[in-house]
Amino acid sequence: MRQPDDPLPVLGIARTVLLPGMACAVPLITDGARGAIEEAMRTNGEVAVFAVHAGAPSRPEPTDHYTTGTLARVIALGTCARCRRQVVKLQGVHRVRAFVFVSRVSDPYLHVICARPEKNLEPEDDSLRSVAAAVWQTALEIRRRFPQCRAARRAVEDLRGRCPEEIPGAASALLGHLSVPEKQSLLETDPLSLRLLAVRHELRRCLATTRGAVHHGWESRVN
């Protein structure tokens, strides 16, 4: 059983950023990725997920990773029906900040000593709940305007009953147009109230014009 201060296995991802509250399926292409998930499943099912910078090699070095990531739980491990690769389903739990990445000769993947940022623990007061409710209302507005949009339906379902910290990840189905650096900036934004305001601003910005909504693919994400 892993102890609280033990280093966590690291899963580096290149094409997205895992946010707290977000469910994500990640193909395990390299031995390092498979090894990190196997270790997580042998212990308590937790893995530290960090986005990697553009151009990083298939076996990223410590400096190839962003230093703010997300603690994730392994939900399921399976095989993609199309490509026959192993795919892991992860659930983002909360942010973590890396103190040091550790490379072990015996493992083809990194470990990390990390902690939950103190600013991640903003008290859940009325003002924070009010901002969270505003994100929810914006998602409902998108759902009403684009009733056939699968991403909007998923976001509304995922946002239901979420705590404020999980809202950016729960709304991620409507944030797919953001680049990795933009999503990483969202993950790093403090305090949490500003993070939620940034999500609402992005959704409102995309709703501002019909062309913007079409550009971001909401009308095309249908059954």
Question: Are 71 and 105 in the same domain?
Answer: yes
Separation CA 47–CA 111 (nearest Å): 9
CATH number of residue 84's parent domain: 2.30.130.40
Say if residue 83 is in the same domain as residue 154: no
Query: Do 85 and 48 share a structural domain?
Result: yes
165 falls within a domain: yes
For residue 12, the enclosing domain spans 8-118
Any domain includes 2:
no
| Residue that terminates a domain, selected from 77, 93, 118 | 118
pTM: 0.90
**pLDDT tens profile 52-83:** 999 999 899 999 999 999 999 999 999 988 88
The confidence score (pLDDT) of residue 215 equals: 45
For residues 22 and 56, membership in a common domain is answered with yes
Do 86 and 100 have their domain in common?
yes
186 within a domain of the structure (yes/no): yes
Count Cβ atoms below 10 Å from residue 16 Cβ, excluding itself. 19
Q: Are residues 110 and 138 in the same domain?
A: no
pLDDT in tens, 5-51: 789 999 999 999 999 999 999 999 999 999 999 999 999 999 999 99
96 - beta bridge partners?
69
Burial letters 55-93, b for 16+ CB under 10 A, else e: eeeeebeeebbbbbbbbbebeeeeeeeeeeebbbebbbb
Return the CA Rg of the chain: 18
